[in-house]
Amino acid sequence: MERIMAKKRNGPGRPGGQTNLSDSILDVAEVLFADKGFAGTAMRHVAEKIEANPALINYYFSNKENLFRAVFLRRAEKITEARMARLAELEAAGGYGIEDLVRAFLEPTAALLETPQGRSFLRLHSRLHMEPEEIAFDLRRQVYQVSTRAYAEAFAALLPGMPRRRVYHKVSLMVGAYLYAFSDTNRLGELTEGLGAQEEQDGLIEDVVAFVSAGMRAGQG
Amino acid sequence: MERIMAKKRNGPGRPGGQTNLSDSILDVAEVLFADKGFAGTAMRHVAEKIEANPALINYYFSNKENLFRAVFLRRAEKITEARMARLAELEAAGGYGIEDLVRAFLEPTAALLETPQGRSFLRLHSRLHMEPEEIAFDLRRQVYQVSTRAYAEAFAALLPGMPRRRVYHKVSLMVGAYLYAFSDTNRLGELTEGLGAQEEQDGLIEDVVAFVSAGMRAGQG
DNA sequence: AAATTAATTAAATATCTATTTAAATAATGA
DNA sequence: TCATTATTTAAATAGATATTTAATTAATTT
């Protein structure tokens, strides 16, 4: 007995109806790049997951590197924008402290923890930050240079007398701390054992904010 | 005119004299795995860098995964041992504080910053911590589970009343912070611009210790 | 309705990959 | 000295990879 439900088209040619495979490709590529890295991800496997031909990915994204860029930029640009918006709000409101600044920086990424797809991006994002390949630097600079520098200056203003070098070190430490904490590769379970996966995460964001805020203030004049 | 200096053997068969290619292979593989990742590193390229046949690597290490394990374990086991030894010294000496514990944990890795080969390992090490692949978890658990848990308990003892979950979060944050700071992928230069590459690193270790120690203490009763 | 454009597949291209096998040579042990 | 073991290479194996080309079909424009 044949099924009547929408069956995948099986030959060449433009399919009937509307398609939006571009977004599907980005979604599955995001998961694969997160789990297997750039080199470890095969275009063929991306294609298989959307049940399409590999050539289709090249049709939409030209090549693998460009696909990776698209996956990364789709979310990273929103993160930067949100950080800049949050910083502008703080400045408009007048006085703010270290902890406000830390929250403004971290919360746009912490929001991604709420969905599986967002968590995939966070893993991808953490990996990218530990990679010395030139493409990784390019992408990070392109998206984050301006906003990270703006935050570094804002921190410096709240830490009068602290040398710029130290402030930059601290910004790096903040970034490393949240990347790892949000990457879900730390496998806290290895340490905790007793706790369930959900309980482990309880209060994580507040703990990150407290830890980083205290670290930022350390050694103030 | 022929050269008389030691020329690479060019045919099959055991070469004259002593060889210790096993260590050379580990050194070269360490750099390549650090720069290109596991999937991005080709056995052929490892072989080329020591001017040997690819089969030789399989002769020594059986396969690629096992080569990676060997590269990682060579140094990681020394790090764990050093951490345990440092912790034992602290306990033997009687009283110690948060900052002593942070130094004991971090200095065995910070020492690797001093050589290019050590810095390659640190990059490899950071990458491994951001990877969700099962082999990455296995290796990290195998080497670090015991010592990291011992440090977590020691921190907990210095932070009476703090829930275990928070202590574990803080240990994760410490790990993330130092991994990124020591990975040399943060490219502080992107932020600093004015400073030279050497100046950038000045005081880095002290800044990490100060940041992490303050973070650990945050929210004490 | 005809022409053009968009979206898809099948098949081919040209490499690159890890690993194994067999042969070769040197060192070592009996 | 002879047999065995250790270390090396050349060549083959068996796939996997990213990308391109040409054909095909549907949608859109004229």
Which tens digit of pLDDT belongs to each residue from B142-175? 999 999 999 999 999 999 999 999 999 999 999 9
* pLDDT at A197 > cutoff 80: no
Nearest to B180 among A172, A192, A207 (CB): A172
CA within 13 Å, CB half, B32: 22
Tokens of B127: 């990458």
Chain D positions with any atom < 7 A from a protein CB: 6-11, 16-27
pLDDT band at A1 (very low <50, low <70, confident <90, very high): very low
pLDDT band at A196 (very low <50, low <70, confident <90, very high): low
* pLDDT at B189 > cutoff 80: no
Torsion of CA B67, B186, A119, B65, to 10 degrees: 0
Which phi and psi angles does A195 have, rounded to 5°? -80, 150
* A76-91 residue pLDDT tens: 999 999 999 999 999 9
Q: What is the mean pLDDT of residues A171-189?
A: 90
Nearest-Cα distance to chain B for A28, in Å, is: 16
Bigger pLDDT: B221 vs B98? B98
Q: Tell me which protein residue sits closest to nucleotide D6, measuring alpha carbon to C1'.
A: B14
Q: What is the mean pLDDT of residues B98-127?
A: 97
* A108-132 residue pLDDT tens: 999 999 999 999 999 999 999 999 9
| Average pLDDT score, chain B | 91
Bigger pLDDT: B12 vs A46? A46
pLDDT band at B3 (very low <50, low <70, confident <90, very high): very low
CA–CA separation, B152 and B154 (whole Å): 5
Task: List CB contacts (< 8 A) between B196 and chain A.
Answer: none
* pLDDT at B1 > cutoff 60: no
CA–CA separation, B79 and B85 (whole Å): 10
CATH topology classification for B73-217 = Tetracycline Repressor; domain 2 (1.10.357)
Nearest to A166 among B190, B203, B214 (CB): B203
* pLDDT at B191 > cutoff 70: no
Instruction: Return the pLDDT at B10.
Output: 73
pLDDT band at A4 (very low <50, low <70, confident <90, very high): very low
Query: Are the beta carbons of A67 and A25 closer than 8 angstroms?
Result: yes
* pLDDT at B190 > cutoff 60: yes
* B16-62 residue pLDDT tens: 787 789 999 999 999 999 999 999 999 999 999 999 999 999 999 99
Tokens of B192: 């600093």
Closest CA to B33 of A129, A133, A120: A133
Instruction: Return the pLDDT at A120.
Output: 98
DSSP letter string over B9-64? --SSSPPSS---HHHHHHHHHHHHHHHHHHHH--HHHHHHHTTS-HHHHHHHHSSH
Q: How many residues does chain A have?
A: 221
Task: Tell me, yes or no, if A150 comes closer than 8 A to chain B by beta carbon.
Answer: no
pTM above 0.85, yes or no: yes
